[in-house]
Amino acid sequence: MAQEDVFKKLVAHCKEYGFVFQSSEIYDGLSAVYDYAQLGVELKNNIKKYWWDSMVKLHENVVGIDSAIFMHPTIWKASGHVDAFNDPLIDNKDSKKRYRADVLIEDLLAKFEAKMDKEVAKAQKKFGETFDEAQFRATNPRVLANKEKMDAIHARFVEALDKNDLVDLKQIIIDNEIACPISGTKNWTDVRQFNLMFSTDMGSTADGSSKIYLRPETAQGIFVNYLNVQKTGRMKIPFGIAQIGKAFRNEIVARQFIFRMREFEQMELQFFVRPGEEMKWFNAWKETRMSWHRALGFGEDKYRFHDHDKLAHYANAATDVEFKFPFGFKEVEGIHSRTDFDLKQHQEYSGKKIQYFDPELNKSYVPYVVETSIGVDRMFLQIMSEAYQEEKIEKEDGKVDERVVLKLPPALAPVKLCVMPLVKKDGLPDKAREIIDDLKFDFNCQYDEKDSIGKRYRRQDAIGTPFCVTLDHQSLEDNTVTLRYRDTMAQERVEISKLYEIIKSEVSMKELFKKLK
Ligand code: GAP
């Protein structure tokens, strides 16, 4: 099945099973805004816990905060967001559709890459095990021709971004005959800059009110609390401050479901270090964060680093962790070496000294910062797109059955077990409730007595529940139940008293944490 079709099915599945709903759906929705539903919120909370504990619990020198969304408007002047938090936009005059000029060019570059990958895949099929991919890429004329074109466009693109040359950005689009996907025409407006921050008024009267912004990143809430945390927590450099919270961006083009939203959630760490040591910490955090992703078990080939073509105004090094979504490799996390830009700016704009006295060096300085910043929603999409699987199952009578199963990492699954009495009578429901009453303090449990056991198993597969526990009449006699495993569909008879240990060993986050570097 084409990857786009898989993605469409995933989006439909998220709605059908209560993971994600379009915001304000009964009013025909609000573009690029989504609500997390009854199961979605559980998965999202588990993702946040996995991140928070891995940062705050597992690092002695990292503490957390929860700062307000509304902040003093000067903060956004100091941080550079008022002047420079822009995206280059372009409109197609025929379809009246608006695009990000840089994204149109990036999509073109991705097409060249896809063409080269196709050549490689074809050759791989032809030559089998003897195939040498590196040599093929270095010598095949079609691959080389595509690479040459791609590199030339890329170099020009980077230069235009660096120089903020909006005229050349448009010219790249024209020269490469990029057409609007809707109208199919190349009838473009000029490229203009568009500030992504939402603003509103604070105060009750028009005269007495002041313009404030909805934060476009949570990071500034950490910077402006740096001194408070360092002093009250007696933190010694190097140390970090972690935060999870909502951020808002008036994205020009919101695409791919919850991948690019106007209201989203970030999990950010600002790690304060000695000036000159930032590259050491930048590399260390790259490794730590990659191991956090890989511990989920989706496969090494699903991730890669992508260094930024254009560094943000505050950074001296930056890379993205990219994940292979059904629509290609895309950013899920940014790791940035932000220098001392932010703290220095706040020092200047606030007039307050923001420095650290380093007892070992016996001097004061403005710390440098390494940031890791990941979107909760993109992580959610990553996990769902990897977990969603359609399987064909051969039955004993030779017929083929199908199931949709969410192979979620058990520690993140919204529901850990479902308890099912085989029939709704003979005391089985009461016994099932007893099991739930015993386990509900440790695990999120469901109870289901409706329909055949097969149908109930399918319902739980579709929401990613790792365990189903079925009671029958034998359970009343010997206190045993059938435990069914989601991924293998294997079943075994176990004592009720053993359920806690078996389930805990699989769904505990500790198993994920043990894999972290
Ligand atoms: N403080 C740095 C910062 O905000 P960023 O690369 O702009 O850096 C970090 O954003 C992460 O936030 C991204 O890697 C992505 O996961 C998430 N993110 C950014 N914009 C988003 C959007 N419109 N919708 C969903 N997630 C978004």
**Dist. CA 416 → ligand 1 center (Å):** 30
Contacts of 28 (CB under 8 A, 6+ apart): none
Instruction: Pick the more confident residue, 126 or 460.
Output: 460
Domain ranges across the chain: 1-71+197-396, 86-195, 410-513
Residue 206 pLDDT level (bands cut at 50, 70, 90): low
Shortest CA distance to 345 belongs to which of 51, 103, 37, 77? 77
Shortest CA distance to 296 belongs to which of 408, 393, 160, 165? 408
**Binding site, residues?**
100, 217, 249-251, 259-268, 331-332, 371-378
What is the fold of 1-71+197-396?
BirA Bifunctional Protein; domain 2 (3.30.930)
Portion of the chain with pLDDT greater than 70, in percent: 99
Predicted local confidence at residue 270, as pLDDT:
98
**Dist. CA 251 → ligand 1 center (Å):** 11
Q: Cβ distance 483 to 494 under 8 Å?
A: yes
| Ligand 1 lined by 334 (C-beta under 6 Å) | yes
C-alpha–C-alpha distance, residues 116 and 332, integer Å: 24
Residue 137: what are its φ and ψ, rounded to 5°? -65, -30
- The H or E element containing residue 211 is strand 210-213
| Ligand 1 lined by 217 (C-beta under 6 Å) | yes
Predicted local confidence at residue 254, as pLDDT:
73
- Which tens digits make up the pLDDT trace of 330-383? 999 999 999 999 999 999 999 999 999 999 999 999 999 999 999 999 999 999
C-alpha–C-alpha distance, residues 197 and 216, integer Å: 6
C-alpha–C-alpha distance, residues 264 and 339, integer Å: 26
Predicted local confidence at residue 129, as pLDDT:
86
Q: Cβ distance 246 to 213 under 8 Å?
A: no
Pairing relationship of beta strands 192-195 and 210-213 according to DSSP bridges: unpaired
**Dist. CA 217 → ligand 1 center (Å):** 8
Residue of 292, 331, 338 to mutate, ligand 1, most atoms within 8 A of C-beta:
331
The residue-averaged pLDDT of 278-291 equals 97
C-alpha–C-alpha distance, residues 481 and 432, integer Å: 10
Q: Cβ distance 323 to 259 under 8 Å?
A: no
CATH among 3.30.40.230, 3.40.190.100, 1.10.1660.10, 3.30.420.10 for 86-195? 3.30.40.230
| Ligand 1 lined by 373 (C-beta under 6 Å) | yes
The residue-averaged pLDDT of 445-461 equals 97
Pairing relationship of beta strands 210-213 and 199-202 according to DSSP bridges: antiparallel
Pairing relationship of beta strands 417-421 and 445-447 according to DSSP bridges: parallel
CATH architecture of structural domain 410-513: 3-Layer(aba) Sandwich (3.40)
**Dist. CA 130 → ligand 1 center (Å):** 42
Mean predicted lDDT score pLDDT of the chain: 95
Tell me the longest C-alpha to C-alpha distance in the chain: 80
Is there a common fold for 1-71+197-396 and 410-513? no
| Ligand 1 lined by 374 (C-beta under 6 Å) | yes
C-alpha–C-alpha distance, residues 21 and 39, integer Å: 11
